[in-house]
Chains A and B, each alone.
Chain A
Amino acid sequence: MSAGGHGSGPGSGPPVARGGRLTTPARLWAVLFTAVVALVAVGATCGATLAARQDSETRSAATAQRLLVNVDELYHALADADATAATALLVGPVPPAPMQQEYLSDITQAEDALASASRDLAGDPTASARLSEVARRMPLYTAEIATAQADNRLGFPVAGAYLREASKLMHDQILTRVKDVADQETAAHAHAQANASGFPVWILVVALLAVLALAAVARELSRSTRRRVNPGVALGVLVALGVVVWSLVAVSSATAGVHRAQADFDRVEAMLQGRDDLALADSYQSLTLVDRGEDGGADFKAEQAALGRIDLLKLDNASGLALAKVSTGMNQVSLTVQDGDYSKAVDMVVGHGGKAAPDTVSATSAACDAALAAAYKADQAAYTADAGAAGSALGGGLWIGPAGALLAALAAAYGINRRLAEYR
């Protein structure tokens, strides 16, 4: 770079030297501009990245996770209602009051959860359409169950036909749609978690470009001013470096927190799924006893499939032990069914004459559901804490990045302006 162009300061005409080359002040202005842009870009990128991750984590914890849990509660309430209705039919003409109460409570919970999920997902046309379908079919389901109960009171086998039809409606048309919404929310939650924990590539790219730009600035300053170091630019670089390092540390810390939260949530999902599959297994077991083998074993297969879907490795000890009892009980029932002794099998499920006993499959299943619910709540609390910690680690990103960038830019501009002043 030429050192010529003396006297061509600001306001004295185009800062162009002879031969089309920029004058030194013009080059200093260009250097100043480059340094400021590079430093602001670094700060802005760090700030934006941290803010976006914090937003994703917040949405993940506060919205997607809550929606997913709500939708799953809807699923569980519906599945449990169906299992209770089917089991009640096995007891006899008049099911015990607690069983009837549980069915009504499940239906009420399902209606509440459906209303809540519909409100939360009002802006999502796909999910809303699915939930609307659920809302339309629920009255049909409860009407079928009411007819089954009325026929059962009279001792009519047609009660079983209405129960089968209602259960089919529940399994094939209602629960599948709720599951679709749950899958959609699971994907949204996973997407938000991924956004909050991915590699901070843009920070590194912009920081690298800024390093190149600032190296060029330093080189140009050195050649123009014959000074090795510009204190202002050096300070700006140090501040920007601090912002980058802080951002990377925050991202790393937050990512670890997000991974912990994800592990918590995986367990929450396993517990929720376990409760759902347990209710489905209960329902199919009762349908097997209602059908008395006329379904060709389809309900038994569905019962075994539901039990098989429960991931034992993700359950806590209490839930795992409770599930083992349920599984043992259901296997004993199936052996009794194979022998054609349906009356004994019914007693094994609901107790003789519907009298509750702790060793019936219904009782062990209820205990398992309670264990899963307790574990799910504990894991959800852990998830909330870890997700909150992950968000907190990113908390300063909104102001440290921009503030650091501003400070760095001001320092660099000040330093270069001192050199520019020599030409005024």
Chain B
Amino acid sequence: MQGRERRERGMASETRRGGARRGRGSRRWALPGTALATVCVLSACSGGLVEVGAHPSVAVPQPGSVVTGSPSQAPAGSAAACVPAALSLRPTAGDAASADVTRIKERDKLIVGVAQDQYLTGYLDSSGVESGFDIDIARQVEQAIFGTQDAAHIQFKAVTNAQRISALQTADPNQAVDMVVDTFTITCDRANQVLFSSVYYNARQRLLVLKNSGYKSLDDLGGKNVCAQYGSTSLERIRDHPSHPIAYGVTNLTDCLVALQQGQVDAISTDDTILAGLARQDPNTAVVGPAFGAEPYGIAVSRDSPGLIRFVNGVLEQIRGDGTWQKIYDNWLGPLLGAQQPPPAQYAH
């Protein structure tokens, strides 16, 4: 999967087509023959998309369940002018004193929307504390604003995929967040709704397979079930791949790991950061194959907070340069994804 924000657009796209999607579910418990038949029927009728989901009944193939297009691309008409990784605002010297940052200082708390179920990027550890790569990035912003990292100055709010933009736009103080740090891929479409920071990580879509499976890339998975999250471009890339794998959709990505462990799918394909988290949970799996498709992650804030996004960009500049970014990466993702350098910053202005 290429960034959780894709799911939102994918879902919206499905809704426009009038398709009723099925969530994760009990189909896994169908008799093997039934499951096989379902896979075959769906793959034939919906262009290779297999759905599993939250609903108990077997999903009926519907035209709306077929994912088409590429949500990660800019909308027609703006694609030529839009470079997602270079849309952000350049930091300036006075950002720390901007009204946006001052408002947070006066509140004495930075409110951050995060995932709490993505191992290694944003999750609750065994003691119930938010942990992960994104969480540590968010704590750097807290450190820059308050000069310290503690629970008193930062509040993490769990946001779902669908809430990531609305949480930045809402006027409800109980639900609003100052920024979202949640494997949030920068897209031109989204940049019309929120302000993104410079890229703090370049994720790439890859594959997770069982170590003894012998699969090395999507080329080896023709006719095999490959799992991804609903509404993600990963699902479409799987289906559209020349080797014709069967796209197997789920609501929660951890359901993909269950499906892989239970032999219902042969591989999982999504962002390498998320795959690393899944691989850590099952040492019998490995991230393999070449990357296909870049997913630049950015921190998002409200479009009404240009001062804050400039300030955040300043923080990112600093941690890129002082080795903090590297330390965070090496702590969470490096052992599984290999050595990487922080992505260079690009700005629109």
Residues of B within 8 A of A168 (CB): 24-26, 54, 56
Q: Would B251 and A294 count as touching, CB distance under 8 A?
A: yes
Q: Does A329 contact B (CB under 8 A)?
A: no
CB distance from A95 to the nearest CB of B (A): 12
Q: Does B330 contact A (CB under 8 A)?
A: no
CB distance from A296 to the nearest CB of B (A): 7
Q: Would B162 and A296 count as touching, CB distance under 8 A?
A: yes
Contact residue among B113, B118, B123, B128 (Cβ-Cβ distance under 8 Å from A346): B128
CB distance from B348 to the nearest CB of A (A): 30
Contact residue among A154, A157, A172, A293 (Cβ-Cβ distance under 8 Å from B158): A293
Q: Would B175 and A338 count as touching, CB distance under 8 A?
A: yes
Q: Does A300 contact B (CB under 8 A)?
A: no
CB distance from B163 to the nearest CB of A (A): 7
Q: Does A414 contact B (CB under 8 A)?
A: no
Q: Does A342 contact B (CB under 8 A)?
A: yes
Closest to A336 in B: B174
CB contact list, B171-205 vs A, under 8 A: 174-175, 177
Residues of B within 8 A of A340 (CB): 113, 156-159, 163, 167, 175, 177
- In Å, the complex CA distance between A316 and B228 comes to 50
- In Å, the complex CA distance between A92 and B155 comes to 20
Q: Would A172 and B126 count as touching, CB distance under 8 A?
A: no
CB distance from A346 to the nearest CB of B (A): 7
Fill in one digit per residue for A168-182: 1 if any B CB lies within 8 Å of its CB, else 0.
110111000000000
Q: Does B144 contact A (CB under 8 A)?
A: no
Fill in one digit per residue for B127-162: 1 if any A CB lies within 8 Å of its CB, else 0.
110000000000000000000000000011111111
Fill in one digit per residue for B253-281: 1 if any A CB lies within 8 Å of its CB, else 0.
01101100000000000000000011011
Q: Does B125 contact A (CB under 8 A)?
A: yes
Of A44-52, A102-110, A159-167, A395-403, the stretch lying at the interface with chain B is A159-167
Residues of A within 8 A of B126 (CB): 92-93, 154-155
Q: Does A199 contact B (CB under 8 A)?
A: no
Q: Does A378 contact B (CB under 8 A)?
A: no
Are A92 and B127 CB-contacts (below 8 A) given A165-B28, A168-B26, A339-B174? yes
Residues of A within 8 A of B161 (CB): 294
Q: Does B293 contact A (CB under 8 A)?
A: no
Q: Does B23 contact A (CB under 8 A)?
A: yes
Q: Does B116 contact A (CB under 8 A)?
A: yes
Q: Does B124 contact A (CB under 8 A)?
A: yes
Q: Would A164 and B24 count as touching, CB distance under 8 A?
A: yes
- In Å, the complex CA distance between A164 and B257 comes to 13
Q: Would A291 and B252 count as touching, CB distance under 8 A?
A: yes
CB distance from A159 to the nearest CB of B (A): 8
Q: Does A140 contact B (CB under 8 A)?
A: yes
Q: Does B119 contact A (CB under 8 A)?
A: yes
Q: Does A341 contact B (CB under 8 A)?
A: yes
Contact residue among A156, A162, A338, A342 (Cβ-Cβ distance under 8 Å from B119): A156
Closest to B229 in A: A294
Q: Would B175 and A339 count as touching, CB distance under 8 A?
A: yes
Residues of A within 8 A of B252 (CB): 160-161, 164, 291, 294
Q: Would B54 and A169 count as touching, CB distance under 8 A?
A: no
Q: Does A325 contact B (CB under 8 A)?
A: no
Contact residue among A151, A154, A338 (Cβ-Cβ distance under 8 Å from B174): A338
Size class of A's contact patch? 35 or more
Residues of B within 8 A of A293 (CB): 158-160, 163
Are A173 and B127 CB-contacts (below 8 A) given A157-B119, A165-B255, A340-B175? no
CB distance from B281 to the nearest CB of A (A): 4
Among B25, B158, B160, B167, find the residue whose CB has the most chain A CB atoms closer than 10 A: B158
Closest to A346 in B: B128
Q: Would A140 and B175 count as touching, CB distance under 8 A?
A: no
Residues of A within 8 A of B155 (CB): 341
CB contact list, A329-371 vs B, under 8 A: 338-343, 346, 353
Residues of B within 8 A of A311 (CB): none
Q: Does A158 contact B (CB under 8 A)?
A: yes
Q: Does B100 contact A (CB under 8 A)?
A: no
CB distance from A161 to the nearest CB of B (A): 4
Residues of A within 8 A of B119 (CB): 156-158
Q: Would B56 and A292 count as touching, CB distance under 8 A?
A: no
Closest to B280 in A: A156
- In Å, the complex CA distance between A293 and B116 comes to 10
Closest to B120 in A: A157
Q: Would A161 and B258 count as touching, CB distance under 8 A?
A: yes
Q: Would B157 and A339 count as touching, CB distance under 8 A?
A: yes
Q: Does A419 contact B (CB under 8 A)?
A: no
Q: Does A298 contact B (CB under 8 A)?
A: yes
Residues of A within 8 A of B157 (CB): 339-341
- In Å, the complex CA distance between A157 and B255 comes to 10
Q: Does B317 contact A (CB under 8 A)?
A: no
- In Å, the complex CA distance between A341 and B124 comes to 12
- In Å, the complex CA distance between A296 and B251 comes to 10
Q: Does B117 contact A (CB under 8 A)?
A: yes
Contact residue among A137, A161, A346 (Cβ-Cβ distance under 8 Å from B254): A161
Are A155 and B162 CB-contacts (below 8 A) given A161-B254, A169-B29? no
Contact residue among B24, B117, B278 (Cβ-Cβ distance under 8 Å from A292): B117
Residues of B within 8 A of A171 (CB): 56
CB distance from A51 to the nearest CB of B (A): 47
Q: Would B254 and A157 count as touching, CB distance under 8 A?
A: yes
CB distance from B122 to the nearest CB of A (A): 10
Q: Does A183 contact B (CB under 8 A)?
A: no
Fill in one digit per residue for B299-326: 1 if any A CB lies within 8 Å of its CB, else 0.
0000000000000000000000000000
- In Å, the complex CA distance between A353 and B127 comes to 8
Q: Would B54 and A343 count as touching, CB distance under 8 A?
A: no
Q: Does A120 contact B (CB under 8 A)?
A: no
Residues of B within 8 A of A160 (CB): 117, 252, 254
Closest to B119 in A: A157
- In Å, the complex CA distance between A173 and B29 comes to 9
Residues of A within 8 A of B251 (CB): 294-295
- In Å, the complex CA distance between A36 and B167 comes to 90
Residues of B within 8 A of A338 (CB): 174-175
Q: Would B29 and A137 count as touching, CB distance under 8 A?
A: yes
CB distance from A39 to the nearest CB of B (A): 63
CB distance from A226 to the nearest CB of B (A): 84
- In Å, the complex CA distance between A410 and B3 comes to 97
- B interface list, Cβ under 8 A from A: 23-26, 28-29, 54, 56, 113, 116-119, 123-128, 155-163, 167, 174-175, 177, 251-252, 254-255, 257-258, 277-278, 280-282
6 residue pairs, one from A and one from B, having the closest CB atoms:
A340-B157, A172-B56, A155-B126, A161-B254, A156-B281, A293-B160
Instruction: Provide 30 A-B residue pairs closer than 8 Å at the C-beta atoms, listed in order of the A residue.
Output: A92-B126, A155-B126, A156-B281, A157-B123, A158-B282, A161-B252, A161-B254, A164-B255, A168-B25, A168-B26, A169-B29, A172-B25, A172-B56, A173-B29, A291-B117, A291-B252, A294-B251, A295-B23, A296-B54, A298-B54, A338-B174, A339-B157, A339-B174, A340-B113, A340-B156, A340-B158, A341-B155, A342-B124, A343-B124, A346-B128
